[in-house]
Amino acid sequence: MSQTKNKKSAVREWVDALVFAVVAASLIRWLLLEPFTIPTASMEKSLLVGDFLFVSKMHYGTRIPKTPLQVPLTHQKIWGTEIPSYSDAIEIPYFRLPGFSDVERNDVVVFNYPVEFQYPSDLKTNYIKRAVGIPGDVIEIKDGDLTVNGENSPKPAEMQYSYDLITNRPLTVDFFADYGINPESFMAFSNGAGYLIWCTDQTVERLKSSPVVVSVSKRIMGKGEAEDSIFPKGSNYNWNRDNYGPLQIPAEGWTIDMTADNVIRYGFTIEKYEGHDQVEIKEGGLFIDGQKVETYTFKQNYYFMMGDNRHDSLDSRYWGFVPEDHIVGKAWFLWLSLDKYESMFSKIRWNRFFKGIE
């Protein structure tokens, strides 16, 4: 006796297909690759505003979600609303699956913005910077040049600084475009005497040969010229973006004496990222659960991140170290790049298709 198999309705087939697609996309996004868009100029010209790239979760190992109760394919909020897309009723301790490699010095890394404390660590806003320092490194910046462990750090090929450009006549947007400087990378001085520009050393050399250019000089903050927003806050080191450190990056298992100086350097990191219930910094000392701590051993690795656009980047110089449990993945390759200042097919930067990230 034959039995007739019930045929699914068209609606049921669409629902099944949609559920399968969401599950598959969620697994790929969590385990393997996640798309990311460059929103700001902090990595120019290595990465441009409008670059679309894939972030590899495989390289450093996939992170187990801290907040598993979350609407699929969302981050902080449900699309188009202010409604949180997650619940923190259940939180899982930090754990990462085995990866291909550790974070290596000068990798371009996507990570969760550490000081966004209103969200769980895995749901903080994604940032992208270069890991210029890894656990145990001593970083120092001298007149804008980075040294790591006493040696000059390799400069990214298309690293940018800010420059004062003095010209003998007003310049147009088209003039700057010919030199690869977009409208957000230059501004006229209020007195009309010239421009502040952000560009690469190669572009500066080209500008110097222009008959309309009188001079081009790099803007460097002097040693001892304090920058109030610099990390660590409240220090009297008089550090700034161009003269910074030396500062050692904490490593898992590193033990330090909690001197008054080390409290300034590392107290914030211990308080915010090391998982203690109660931490106080007072009278030049560090107190954990009400007890003054004379020495401290770090529980995880940390990294020092900087943007390749060295004078237009909110990075570790301003908010400190990136904890290992905030690392999302390695920026792997571009799959699309769009120039918002162009129109139609000119918007597409064809030469950046499937370009690897170095």
82 exposure class (CB count in 10 Å sphere: 0-12, 13-18, 19+): exposed
91 and 63, same domain (yes or no)? yes
Q: What is the pLDDT of residue 343?
A: 85
- Residue 5 in any domain: the answer is no
- Residue 305 in any domain: the answer is no
33 and 106, same domain (yes or no)? yes
Mean pLDDT of the chain: 92
- Residue 236 in any domain: the answer is no
Q: What is the mean pLDDT of residues 299-307?
A: 98
Q: What is the pLDDT of residue 16?
A: 63
At a CB cut-off of 8 Å and minimum separation 6, what does 343 contact?
Answer: none
The two three-digit tokens of residue 262, written as one number: 């080390």
CA distance 320 to 298: 15
Q: What is the pLDDT of residues 71-107, one digit of tens each?
A: 887 888 988 888 989 898 999 999 999 999 999 999 9
15 and 117, same domain (yes or no)? yes
Q: C-alpha distances in angstroms, 124 versus 113, 167, 328?
A: 6, 43, 11
Q: What is the pLDDT of residue 247?
A: 98
The two three-digit tokens of residue 344, written as one number: 């139609």
CA distance 345 to 358: 27
- 208: domain range? 160-218
- Residue 343 in any domain: the answer is yes
Q: What is the pLDDT of residue 1?
A: 46
Q: How many domains does the chain have?
A: 3
The Cα angle at residue 117 between residues 30 and 247, in degrees rounded to 5: 95
Task: Report which of residues 300 and 68 the model is more confident about.
Answer: 300
Q: What is the pLDDT of residue 6?
A: 65
Task: Report which of residues 345 and 274 the model is more confident about.
Answer: 274
Q: What is the pLDDT of residues 20-78, one digit of tens each?
A: 666 666 676 666 789 999 999 999 999 999 999 999 999 999 999 999 888 887 888 98
331 and 290, same domain (yes or no)? no
Band of residue 346 on the pLDDT scale cut at 50, 70, 90? confident
The CATH number given to whatever domain includes residue 202 is 3.30.70
